[in-house]
């Protein structure tokens, strides 16, 4: 039924928004494609796994922990590493974040092993049926939390001093320095926020995905698509991009076979890049 | 500055050439295979170098050529019964055609967008190949016929084949770096709008560059298919190949002629050592090495040798790139 496909598209879209929003932030502000974002998400998922399995904490309640831990990881990576190479060419930053990604994946491999892990709270698999459509509990909860996070992020970027400083730096680096913004510190905080959002995404996807140290790669692939589809222009951009990807995949696989899901995603990506590279919302800055 | 005209450098190259040519008669199978794989990586890196190092277009999807080249050889040899050499040539032709087909829309994009679009195209092709089970085995892969002969002979054959192609491709790259095409590409990398304003047909030259890159990469893919005798979409369209190529280019020096070769030697050498000693940690160590390379020798070994190994140079480079 196509309505179910559309509903699934919206619910999946919530997950994609989470995955993409941090990635899009770093790209828009610092022009860094952070291939390590996938491993931030992976770490968030593992933190949730550990808390859920050993302390029996509900995955949704582990969100703050994942976010705080990942904030510090992101902040430190930027402040002590990325800030030193940030003006180099795109090969360099890309390769660097790639190196960081496989390093983090190896660390995760040593700590948690490569065995598939999963987080299965008591209510997984259940849902309610309204008007002939299935609303799985977990997916709906993820969607709602994604909305809340997006809104909080929007408030952060528009109402707080840090948020305004981040916007200023993204708009005009020299200008921001001139008015006294500590750019290095702001970049560090931006990466921290991005990683925290990644950690939240990890916590949110842990109940619906098998967790291995290697999920970082495909996840960052999805994040790319979200960032480009939506455009790097603001919270709305990531939101639009996530929803667009979710809908394109679900509705697309309704019409074509679902094995071509990823190919569809990528073809849509290439088309968007050619005809509207600034994405659906599309502004150059946050 | 090390120039090709330098007498010592020329002598060094001739000696290295002879050493490589005579190598198989003194070394064991493992070393021959190791060098063959280094040569393959060097060819792949040189292919990437032409589009990324010379022209400045970071083609993250270059494995599209590798995979399609491998599958061209695979399908022709298995389904049609062609022998290896014509299949290899066909792979080269496929490389050119694909480069033109995807180059026309994609080369309009710049920087990150081009990188991602090329990656997207490669991933889409991978998924499609995964599902073409009747044509080429799909996700289960394709098995090619083995080369006839004893293992030692087979090793040597592939060694000399790859070495020979390496020489041809590197000579071609050297020629390119000195002629009009090379100048056009470097101009495009330096400032595409200025190049356009100066009358350089940027679209045409970019497509030519990617087509050349496609030939090198596709033929290498064809050799890989016949050498390993088994290919599947997950390995031949793996983006990790291209990421390694970028590291090799970084190591050796993007935009130089010999950079890919030195980078390949160094990278494979380090990989082998790490693999054999630290199996559990090899990813992490590779990650750390990548990070260190990016920090300390971002312009590659050749540039570092030119500028001298002084600490000051390293610190200067870092200071240039800091926020």
pLDDT at residue A282, rounded to an integer: 58
Of B123, B287, B323, nearest to A102 by CB-CB distance is B287
Nearest residue on chain B to A107, alpha-carbon basis = B284
Q: Is A112 on the interface with B (CB under 8 A)?
A: no
Domain assignment of residue B206, yes or no: yes
Inter-chain CB proximity B58 and A91 less than 8 Å: yes
pLDDT in tens, B19-33: 888 887 777 888 888
Once rounded to an integer, what is the mean pLDDT over residues B144-148? 83
Give CA–CA dist B301/B247, Å, rounded: 12
Q: How far apart are the CA of B179 and the nearest CA of chain A, in angstroms?
A: 26
pLDDT in tens, B29-75: 888 888 999 999 999 999 999 999 899 888 888 999 999 999 999 99
Portion 7-36 of A in contact with B at CB < 8 A: 27, 31, 33
Measured CA distances, A99 to A163, B12, B172, B264 (Å)? 29, 33, 32, 17
Over pLDDT 70: what percentage of chain B?
Answer: 92
Q: Is A100 on the interface with B (CB under 8 A)?
A: yes
Q: How far apart are the CA of B13 and the nearest CA of chain A, in angstroms?
A: 29
Quick one: which of A140, A120, A119 has its CA closest to A128?
A: A140
Mutate to test the interface with A, among B62, B124, B254 (most CBs of A within 10 A): B124
Chain B positions in Cβ-Cβ contact with residue A101 (cut-off 8 Å): 287
Chain B positions in Cβ-Cβ contact with residue A169 (cut-off 8 Å): none
Q: Is A271 on the interface with B (CB under 8 A)?
A: no
Please write down the HEC assignment for all residues of A13-34: HHHHHHHHHHHHHHHHHHCCCC
Quick one: which of A285, A20, A74 has its CA closest to A188?
A: A74
Range of the domain at B188: 27-238
Assigned token pair, B28: 């064991």
Domain assignment of residue B63, yes or no: yes
Q: Is A134 on the interface with B (CB under 8 A)?
A: no
Q: Is A57 on the interface with B (CB under 8 A)?
A: no
pLDDT at residue A285, rounded to an integer: 45
CB pairs under 8 A between A and B: 142
Q: Is A275 on the interface with B (CB under 8 A)?
A: no
Domain assignment of residue B246, yes or no: no
What CATH number does the domain located at A2-117+134-275 have? Answer: 1.10.3470
Chain B positions in Cβ-Cβ contact with residue A79 (cut-off 8 Å): none
Assigned token pair, A202: 């990890």
Whether residue A37 has pLDDT greater than 60:
yes
Min mean pLDDT across B74-88, B102-116, B234-248, B270-284 is at B270-284
Measured CA distances, B274 to B44, B267, B310 (Å)? 22, 11, 27
The model carries a pTM of 0.81
Inter-chain CB proximity B287 and A273 less than 8 Å: no
Q: How far apart are the CA of A95 and the nearest CA of chain B, in angstroms?
A: 7
Per the rule left: phi > 0, alpha: psi between -120 and 50, beta: everything else, B56 is left
Whether residue A162 has pLDDT greater than 50:
yes
Give CA–CA dist A226/A269, Å, rounded: 9
Quick one: which of B42, B47, B24 has its CA closest to B266?
A: B42
pLDDT at residue A192, rounded to an integer: 94
Chain A positions in Cβ-Cβ contact with residue B294 (cut-off 8 Å): 85, 88, 92, 95-96, 99
Inter-chain CB proximity A99 and B106 less than 8 Å: no
Q: How far apart are the CA of A249 and the nearest CA of chain B, in angstroms?
A: 13
Give CA–CA dist B139/A111, Å, rounded: 31
Q: Is A185 on the interface with B (CB under 8 A)?
A: no
Domain assignment of residue B268, yes or no: no
For β-strands B230-231 and A133-136, DSSP reports them as unpaired
Inter-chain CB proximity A83 and B323 less than 8 Å: yes
Burial of B27 (0-12, 13-18, 19+ CB in 10 A): middle
Is the model more confident about A269 or about B126? B126
Is the model more confident about B34 or about A277? B34
Inter-chain CB proximity B116 and A224 less than 8 Å: yes
Chain B positions in Cβ-Cβ contact with residue A109 (cut-off 8 Å): 280, 283
Inter-chain CB proximity B284 and A91 less than 8 Å: no
pLDDT in tens, A174-224: 888 899 888 889 999 999 999 999 999 999 989 888 899 988 888 887 888
Domain assignment of residue B295, yes or no: no
Return the C-alpha torsion angle A37, A43, A44, A46, nearest 10.
150
pLDDT at residue A286, rounded to an integer: 40
Q: What is the mean pLDDT of chain A?
A: 84
- The ipTM (two decimal places) reads 0.74
A136: enclosing H helix or E strand: strand A133-136
Nearest residue on chain A to B239, alpha-carbon basis = A217
Q: What is the mean pLDDT of chain B?
A: 85
Inter-chain CB proximity B124 and A270 less than 8 Å: yes
Q: Is A188 on the interface with B (CB under 8 A)?
A: no
Domain assignment of residue B275, yes or no: no
The three-point CA angle A155-A158-A163 to 5° equals: 95
Inter-chain CB proximity A85 and B321 less than 8 Å: yes
Inter-chain CB proximity A260 and B128 less than 8 Å: yes
Inter-chain CB proximity B283 and A110 less than 8 Å: no
Domain assignment of residue B85, yes or no: yes
Length of chain B: 323
Whether residue B1 has pLDDT greater than 50:
no
The three-point CA angle B281-B38-B150 to 5° equals: 105
pLDDT in tens, A235-265: 788 888 888 888 888 887 777 766 666 677 7
Assigned token pair, B218: 């596709």
Whether residue B214 has pLDDT greater than 90:
yes
Once rounded to an integer, what is the mean pLDDT over residues A151-171? 89
Whether residue B146 has pLDDT greater than 80:
yes
A68: enclosing H helix or E strand: helix A63-80
Q: Provide the domain count of chain B.
A: 1
Chain B positions in Cβ-Cβ contact with residue A92 (cut-off 8 Å): 250, 294, 298, 321
Is the model more confident about B80 or about B307? B80
Whether residue A267 has pLDDT greater than 80:
no
pLDDT at residue B308, rounded to an integer: 65
pLDDT in tens, A90-119: 777 878 888 888 899 999 998 998 888 888
């Amino acid at each position: 039924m196509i309505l179910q496909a559309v509903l699934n598209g919206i619910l999946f879209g919530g997950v994609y928004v989470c995955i993409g929003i941090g990635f899009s932030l770093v790209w828009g502000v610092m022009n860094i494609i952070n291939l390590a974002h996938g491993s931030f998400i992976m770490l968030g998922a593992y933190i949730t796994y550990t808390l859920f399995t050993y302390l029996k904490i509900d995955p949704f309640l582990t969100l703050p922990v994942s976010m705080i831990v990942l904030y510090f990881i992101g902040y430190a990576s930027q402040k002590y590493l990325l800030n030193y190479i940030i003006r180099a060419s795109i090969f360099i930053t890309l390769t660097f974040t790639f190196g960081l990604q496989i390093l983090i994946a190896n660390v995760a491999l040593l700590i948690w092993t490569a065995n598939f892990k999963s987080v299965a709270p008591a209510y997984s698999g259940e849902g309610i049926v309204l008007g002939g459509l299935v609303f799985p509990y977990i997916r709906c909860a993820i969607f709602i939390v994604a909305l809340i996070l997006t809104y909080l992020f929007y408030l952060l970027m528009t109402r707080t001093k840090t948020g305004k400083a981040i916007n200023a730096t993204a708009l005009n680096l020299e200008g921001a320095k001139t008015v006294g913004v500590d750019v290095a510190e702001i970049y560090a905080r931006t990466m921290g926020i991005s990683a925290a959002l990644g950690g939240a995404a990890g916590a949110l996807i842990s109940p619906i995905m098998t967790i291995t140290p290697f999920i970082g790669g495909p996840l960052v692939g999805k994040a790319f698509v979200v960032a480009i589809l939506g455009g790097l222009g603001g919270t709305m951009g990531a939101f639009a991009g996530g929803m667009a990807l979710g809908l394109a995949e679900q509705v697309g696989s309704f019409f074509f076979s679902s094995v071509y899901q990823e190919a569809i995603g990528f073809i849509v990506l290439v088309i968007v890049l050619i005809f509207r590279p600034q994405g659906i919302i599309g502004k150059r800055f946050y | 500055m090390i120039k090709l005209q330098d007498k010592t450098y020329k002598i060094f190259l001739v000696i290295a050439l002879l050493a490589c040519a005579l190598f198989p008669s003194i070394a064991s199978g493992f070393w021959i295979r190791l060098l063959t794989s280094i040569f393959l990586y060097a060819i792949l890196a040189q292919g990437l170098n032409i589009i990324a190092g010379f022209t400045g277009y970071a083609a993250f999807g270059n494995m599209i050529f590798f995979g399609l080249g491998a599958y061209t050889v695979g399908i022709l040899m298995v389904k049609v019964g062609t022998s290896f050499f014509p299949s290899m040539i066909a792979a080269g032709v496929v490389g050119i055609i694909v480069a033109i087909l995807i180059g026309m829309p994609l080369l309009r994009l710049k920087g990150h967008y081009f990188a991602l679009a090329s990656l997207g195209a490669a991933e889409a092709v991978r998924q499609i190949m995964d599902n073409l089970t009747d044509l080429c085995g799909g996700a289960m892969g394709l098995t090619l016929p083995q080369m006839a002969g004893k293992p030692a002979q087979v090793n040597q054959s592939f060694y000399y084949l790859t070495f020979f192609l390496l020489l041809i491709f590197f000579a071609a790259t050297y020629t390119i770096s000195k002629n009009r095409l090379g100048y056009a590409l470097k101009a495009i990398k330096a400032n595409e709008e200025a190049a356009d304003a100066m009358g350089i047909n940027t679209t045409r030259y970019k497509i030519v560059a990617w087509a050349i890159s496609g030939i090198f990469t596709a033929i290498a893919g064809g050799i890989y298919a016949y050498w390993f005798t088994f290919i599947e979409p997950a390995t031949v369209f793996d983006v990790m190949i291209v990421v390694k190529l970028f590291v090799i280019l970084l190591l050796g020096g993007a935009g130089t002629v010999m950079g890919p070769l030195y980078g390949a030697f160094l990278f494979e050498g380090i990989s082998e050592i790490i693999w054999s000693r630290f199996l559990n940690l090899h990813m992490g160590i590779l990650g750390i090495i990548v990070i260190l390379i990016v920090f300390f020798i971002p312009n590659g070994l050749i540039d570092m040798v030119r500028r001298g190994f002084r600490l000051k140079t390293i610190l200067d480079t870092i200071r240039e790139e800091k926020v």
